[in-house]
Structure 1
């Protein structure tokens, strides 16, 4: 890393990507296909549900907070360089939406990039506005999330609201692409919650960076301490939602999980600031994944598709035939293997480039046609 680069955001982003894949891997491992997740996992045992409860929503919320921090950094850079904002950021959001759409159609039903792109267009306008405007927008979006989650919880608690009819999942890749194309209401309905939730967390991430969440001074330490207290409340709320039953999945994923993510956002920088000496393997690995976050997010899902789907190695069906303890160990082992593979592959990539493959592509498309400064001293 360059000397001026913040270490904590990269480590946190790497942790968020690894944790998000820890949820996605269970989606791929369900032999009935991703749609079965909407009605609950039918294969597995109690430890599966514990592992899912630990990671469900927390690391995705952490990734969303970090996206907001990234937007704030880009806004500051634009202001510092005298560049009109949001300006070309809107082009970046459009490219992100297209990348998310392709990721959804070709790879994974529960893509988050599309939702991030939509939310970022509004937040890009808000980030430079007054505190009152940003707080009002956050409260409106948060209120909408509360209303939808409340309605969802009531609906799932009713006698006929416990399951979602799911179409048969195709065994061929082309069939899966066609299903995603023809069933957008089934697989993209979560955007109703993803987009407003992202707006809130983007704005919170921006505000936390302004408050000095990564700074070593006393003010930054107070911010991190408060975030860890919020995280502790979130853990209690998350456990209560899990114990309340499947009907409370919305509360767990969209209300309690962001509180836990806030705690992680306070805890990890506090730990890093207290560390002395060179970074170890785990920290270096998380930093590598964090610097190539989008490439790892998409790449991990591509690898999981090949490993689990019938048109690939078909491990989802194979693991469904073994006893639960072995299946759990297999899924967790695949998760660990794919994460390690990501670290190794992106580590080699970063020896030659300063960004991941998809990050480089996005950067090249955004900068296409931008006037380049004349070199010092003329041609």
Structure 2
């Protein structure tokens, strides 16, 4: 069990830092979020974006599904009603995501994770046949969505940019821009609900199949994940990236999630192989994984303060360095997360956001003591 927990912490840390690899392009674009949505400026930048685009967000979704399955299994072992209080967790996550969206980051994922978690909470304990049916059905809907969007983009009748105008000149103006464009900015969240359902359910099934175990069956699953995800998914990901902007949906929403499963298998296998030699990098990534919610919010806050006009506006000073500036910002923010998480987790059981969140989760469950006499 200890190895499985360690693998989960590392996987979460990798997913968080990898998600920053996607988001950092938003923060460092000279035109801000609006410029990022317009797409890469060339094949070189497109390939660099491809290294993180969609993959680690999909990996994070799989981790949420694994976490949900662990919560369910724990409730069953303790004889607790399910989903029971788990729905309160989902409500808190939705509220936290809303605050994160309004105050910090327009591409928040916590809100739609909360919505998907409600559906999957009612499915995770059902029979394998029921879960497979929902998984296949959600996948079919998702593929249909991607196909329709791709056909529209190939015909020139659809676009992913939407002509959004995000004002980053001041923090209040930035907040107002998010509120003014709320529906448009949340459109992707609606689009990926079927995909998130697939990834949540797949994560739960992989956990129960032993994909994270350091055992023969676990190793077999990890190898298969790497073959399909890295051997098949990654070449397809490169092809769709180079094929042009019209293939954006296939690239981000079909190929990238396939690669995410390869990352799951590869990182898990590496963790088990190197479990006796946990160096400072792995310990730092593990600390990020243990405080994943804090680090997800912190990375967007730190990058916003460093890059946007209402902060230090480093983009105006160094944005002409292009991809070098973007890579440098990723390294700086990642280092701050790793160092900060390592320091905090060496002293506390939970990350700061996790601690507040846990208090809010437990608060309504507390009952006043019955009066004596």
What band does the TM-score fall into relative to the shorter chain?
over 0.9
What is the distance in 1 between the residues matched to 2:179 and 2:368?
A: 43
- Comparing 93-102 with 4-13, greater Cα deviation is found at 4-13
What is the distance in 2 between the residues matched to 1:304 and 1:214?
A: 32
Give 1:316 deviation, angstroms. Answer: 2.1
| 1:141 and 2:138 correspond | yes
8 Å CA contact retained: 2:33, 2:166: no
Structure 1 stretches of 4+ moved >3 Å: 2-5, 159-163, 371-374
Q: For 1:241-280, list aligned pairs within 5 A.
A: 241-275=240-274, 277-280=276-279
Corresponding position of 2:222: 224
- Comparing 344-353 with 101-110, greater Cα deviation is found at 344-353
TM-score, normalised to structure 2, is: 0.94
What per-residue deviation string (whole Å, max 9, x for no partner) do you get for residues 274-318 of structure 1? 225330111111101000111001001001111111111112233
Give 1:173 deviation, angstroms. Answer: 0.9
What is the distance in 2 between the residues matched to 1:327 and 1:233?
A: 31
Could you tell me which runs of 5 or more consecutive residues in structure 2 were left unpaired when the two chains were aligned.
Answer: none
Match of 1:204 among 193, 198, 202: 202
The 1:168–1:278 alpha-carbon spacing in structure 2 relative to 1, beyond 3 Å, is: closer
TM-score, normalised to structure 1, is: 0.92
What is the distance in 2 between the residues matched to 1:276 and 1:134?
A: 33
What is the distance in 2 between the residues matched to 1:168 and 1:273?
A: 44
What is the distance in 1 between the residues matched to 2:56 and 2:252?
A: 10
Corresponding position of 2:336: 341
8 Å CA contact retained: 1:300, 1:342: yes
What is the distance in 2 between the residues matched to 1:182 and 1:313?
A: 25
Corresponding position of 2:74: 77
Give 1:144 deviation, angstroms. Answer: 1.4
8 Å CA contact retained: 2:101, 2:108: yes
Corresponding position of 1:94: 91
What per-residue deviation string (whole Å, max 9, x for no partner) do you get for residues 237-262 of structure 1? 21121121111111111111111110
What is the distance in 2 between the residues matched to 1:173 and 1:32?
A: 16
SS across alignment from 1:169: coil
Match of 1:331 among 312, 326, 350: 326
Could you tell me which runs of 5 or more consecutive residues in structure 1 were left unpaired when the two chains were aligned.
Answer: 375-379
Q: For 1:1-379, list aligned pairs within 5 A.
A: 6-42=5-41, 46-162=43-159, 164-167=162-165, 169-231=167-229, 232-275=231-274, 277-320=276-319, 322=320, 326-371=321-366
CA RMSD of aligned residues (A): 1.9
SS across alignment from 1:6: helix
